[in-house]
Structure 1
Amino acid sequence: MGPWNSALAPEEETAVDAIKALADPDRREAARESLAARGLAAVRPLLDELLDETSPVRHWDIEFVLTERIGSVAFDEVLAALAAATDDESRGRVSRVFTRFGAVDRYIGALSHPSARVRGSAAFGIQSACSVAFGREPNPGVDYGLVIDALIPLLADPDPEVAQRAEWVLTMLGPGVEEPLRRVRDHGPGRLRARALTALAATGGEEALSPADRAAVERLIRIKVRDERARPLDTCFTSWIAVPTGDQQGIVELLGLFEARPATFELGLSVGAHDSHDYAEHGRVYVTPEVDGWTLVLGPWCNPVDPQRAEDVLHAVTELSRRYGRAQAYYFGEQGGGSGWLVAEDGNAVRRFGSCWEDDGARFTLGEPLPEERAACVEEGITPVGDVGADDEERTDLAAYLAPQLAEQLGVSPMALGPHTTVRGVGALAFTPYAREHGRPGTGAYAI
């Protein structure tokens, strides 16, 4: 097929001609109008073009015509194309169209389609049209009760991706999902109960659970911590305090933590990962049991080079070292987010340093470079920090990845915990003094 012939009269122009014209910015709007006028007759040719890997027409131009100009009359054809697609690329292209219609009633009907891809895309379409997450307003005219009742059976869908999507969507529909999910927890059917619990916790937190469910969760934690093995505590953006003692209670009291409750390593990691992403949560920490003679406190509240926390952490770690001889605090962002460390002995700060791509950490620097810092430079073949000729840029690049290595050399790194680690006692989740002033963090669905 050659270029679109603008000399053709409208009645002579074919759908294919108009579709090809979508690739031309000067002719795109006229082509949209032409295709919209054709309505259902243009849908199949548009879908063929969408699936043509050699097409010069941008995918989103085809999506726009199908969903915004032709609209819901194209729904059934798009659904059929989605069900018939045989590869992931084709399914993905058609699914993007399908989920843009905003036709909630049609999506509800498609939730029972034989194709798992159609069911999952229908659930995503509902998510796009109905989500109230992140401050979005409810979709006026939508019967949310009807939507919720239609989604709940998918929690037991035979396709795990569809079941996961249904769970995610339910958590985005607001507090109206809580009572239907509690009914599932109380009365079944049994195949829905496990995911219903997760969705309920993600939606309303611990407070949304029934007393029986809260008691069951606490009982499960008590059972699991009895013979628990350590596991790595790596939250992508990880902050922690390390103290060479098994006196967990003493650390909790000195740091002003309160309402400590038993927690597994898995739960501590799950909460830590949640609290360290997006907006750092300073109101909660995980306190490990004794691990190889040390106790770690994990959470953004412990970051020694966070401008909001640096001075408070400096005071806390110094006081811990006064009582226990030594104490340390670290930050590490494994995706190039930098490093920071603070080392104190006998009530005095020995060293504090921070390094990340946006900030060389100079404002946090205290004390002279540690021998371990200098040794790391030598190992990398660069002039040690503090020596004549040391390159600040090389030092910054190296330091941005150094916190876990220093933590392991000076004591225990949370990233290096594992089955080989000697564990004594039980870990705990606790609120920090920040929570007293700013409110307790919301709870959610966490791994146990």
Structure 2
Amino acid sequence: MKDAIKALAADPYQREAARVRLAVEGRSVVRPLIAELLDETSPVPWQEIERLLVKWIPEHAYDEVLAALASASDKVSRRRLSRTFTSFGAVDRYIEALNHPSASVRESAAMGIQSACSVAYGRKPNPDVDYDLVIDALIPLLADPDEDVAQRVRWLLTMLGDGVLEPLRHVRRHGPGKLRAHALSVLAAAGGEEALSAADRAAVERLVRIKLLDDRAQPLDTCFTSWIAVPGGDQQGIAELLGLFDARPATFELGLSVGSHDSHDGAEYGRVYVTPEVDGWTLVLGPWCNPVDPERAEDVLRVVTELSRHHGRAQAYYFGEQGGGSGWLVAENGETVRRCKGSWAKDDARFSLGEPLPQERAACIEEGITPVGDAPADGEEADEEWTDLAPYLAPDLARRLGVSPFDLGPDTTVRGAGIVALTPHARAHGRPCTGAYAI
């Protein structure tokens, strides 16, 4: 038997012969195969072992893999066994395993159901699955004592289609109480605000108002962060000039959550978060504000210039902290002073307007490089230095010119309350999808 298992690492002909021989062994070969799977020094590809267990002898292997997963004592073993366990595709057995004492088994069972049943990203429902039965089995695990299991189930329920909505509404109406809060979050994530009852929508709005009483500024970092900055605290005037509508009160946490969602799941141009006055400035956060987005650049140029006409100054920025580059736009008294993009892309230059700002030059000097705009003897080297600095410059320039959203915190002076509002893009292209956000 050992020779046959080792032959799974041999040439294709030997592998096929080994599979046949091992499959004939049936139950007696399962534990040796699992041991080989967990041996980090084994030359046998894990895919070969998994294929044998899952495709050739699943009727013998399922229970043994489950037992091994339940008793696994280290992360590597649990990961390998979970990967195999979730490949069986045995939804009925996974439903039973959701009640297993082992959290690793419960989480892996949920992952197996996800793999077999998810309708996310355009997948069609599995015709062999009773989705009502699956949903009824999953909902109690929303309050699982193991947070990893509970989180996996929350994600999974949002992937099973509209059939989850009514069972979750039932929990909201009738309990049990320990599931109600979790059901509300999943309802919002799965169906958006439209899936909530009028009572639940009112409860959420009431919670936001309560939270605003003690709201504190916090950094607004969405990884891919775009914002407009206007001096002063004329939030209503800024919103009117930008054409924002359907404004709702929002905490800093809610604004950050909405901004993160809209920035990560594809650029959502239909919604922004407008801060209260923070250290003498009002910020508008969201991909709609990106001054160097090819789809938004000209409109952002227009609105920022118009804001500067009314407020003396206005700026717009973009910063992708994972190497996504920087962009900035500065306008004063109705005139564009500067627009620049730094991202190592070949088309960066097409966004350039105006002369380098004193603040850009100062940043160069502090970094020990030739100030942008100067022409030293070795001009090529200076251009390369600027190209390497510019992609990281937006937060620093925002700080030098006013206030950076990354610097907000407990010591920030705050006047008023923030709002989340829809942009003119939403009028033309439809309202953005809502979801579950932190408050």
TM-score if structure 1 supplies the norm length? 0.95
1:254 positional shift: 0.4
- CA displacement 1:281-337 (0-9 Å, x = unmatched): 000000001111111000000000000000000000000000000000000000010
Q: Which residue of 1 aligns with 2:243?
A: 256
* Aligned counterparts, 1:12-411, within 5 A: 14=1, 16-26=2-12, 27-359=14-346, 361-389=348-376, 390=379, 391-411=382-402
Moved more, 377-386 or 93-102: 377-386
- CA displacement 1:154-180 (0-9 Å, x = unmatched): 111111111111111111101100000
SS of aligned partner of 2:337? strand
Question: Is residue 336–residue 357 contact of structure 1 (8 Å, CA) maintained in 2?
Answer: no
Question: Counterpart amino acid of 1:67?
Answer: V
Q: Indicate the percent of aligned positions where both proteins have the same amino acid.
A: 75
Q: Which residue of 2 aligns with 1:11?
A: none
Q: Which residue of 2 aligns with 1:4?
A: none
Question: Is residue 342–residue 348 contact of structure 2 (8 Å, CA) maintained in 1?
Answer: yes
- Aligned counterparts of 1:259 and 1:359: Cα–Cα separation in 2: 39
SS of aligned partner of 2:330? strand
SS of aligned partner of 1:22? helix
1:226 positional shift: 1.9
Moved more, 193-202 or 53-62: 53-62
1:209 positional shift: 0.7
Moved more, 386-395 or 50-59: 386-395
SS of aligned partner of 1:343? strand
Question: Is residue 192–residue 434 contact of structure 2 (8 Å, CA) maintained in 1?
Answer: yes
- Aligned counterparts of 1:52 and 1:373: Cα–Cα separation in 2: 56
1:382 positional shift: 1.1
Question: Counterpart amino acid of 2:436?
Answer: A
- CA displacement 1:244-294 (0-9 Å, x = unmatched): 020001011100111111011101000100000131100000000111111
Q: Which residue of 2 aligns with 1:10?
A: none
2:414 matches 1:423: yes
- Aligned counterparts of 1:86 and 1:101: Cα–Cα separation in 2: 22
Question: Is residue 72–residue 103 contact of structure 1 (8 Å, CA) maintained in 2?
Answer: no
Question: Counterpart amino acid of 1:168?
Answer: W
- Aligned counterparts of 2:228 and 2:388: Cα–Cα separation in 1: 24
- CA displacement 1:119-170 (0-9 Å, x = unmatched): 1110111011100111110011200000000001111111111111111111
- CA displacement 1:71-126 (0-9 Å, x = unmatched): 34311010011011111111111010001111000000000001111011101110
- Aligned counterparts of 1:350 and 1:403: Cα–Cα separation in 2: 16
Question: Counterpart amino acid of 2:364?
Answer: C
TM-score if structure 2 supplies the norm length? 0.97
Question: Is residue 232–residue 418 contact of structure 1 (8 Å, CA) maintained in 2?
Answer: yes
CA 359–417 in structure 1, closer or farther in 2 if over 3 Å, else same: farther
CA 383–222 in structure 1, closer or farther in 2 if over 3 Å, else same: same
- Aligned counterparts of 1:374 and 1:67: Cα–Cα separation in 2: 63
Question: Is residue 354–residue 360 contact of structure 1 (8 Å, CA) maintained in 2?
Answer: no
1:363 positional shift: 0.6
- Aligned counterparts of 1:175 and 1:124: Cα–Cα separation in 2: 19
SS of aligned partner of 1:119? helix
Question: Counterpart amino acid of 1:217?
Answer: V
1:360 positional shift: 5.5
- Aligned counterparts of 1:290 and 1:172: Cα–Cα separation in 2: 39
- Aligned counterparts of 1:34 and 1:314: Cα–Cα separation in 2: 71
SS of aligned partner of 1:384? coil
Unaligned 5+ segments in structure 2 are: none
CA 153–94 in structure 1, closer or farther in 2 if over 3 Å, else same: same
SS of aligned partner of 2:248? strand
- Aligned counterparts of 1:327 and 1:399: Cα–Cα separation in 2: 20
1:32 positional shift: 2.5
1:35 positional shift: 2.4
- Aligned counterparts of 2:218 and 2:303: Cα–Cα separation in 1: 26
- Aligned counterparts of 1:341 and 1:29: Cα–Cα separation in 2: 61
Length, aligned pairs only? 434
- Aligned counterparts of 2:119 and 2:344: Cα–Cα separation in 1: 35
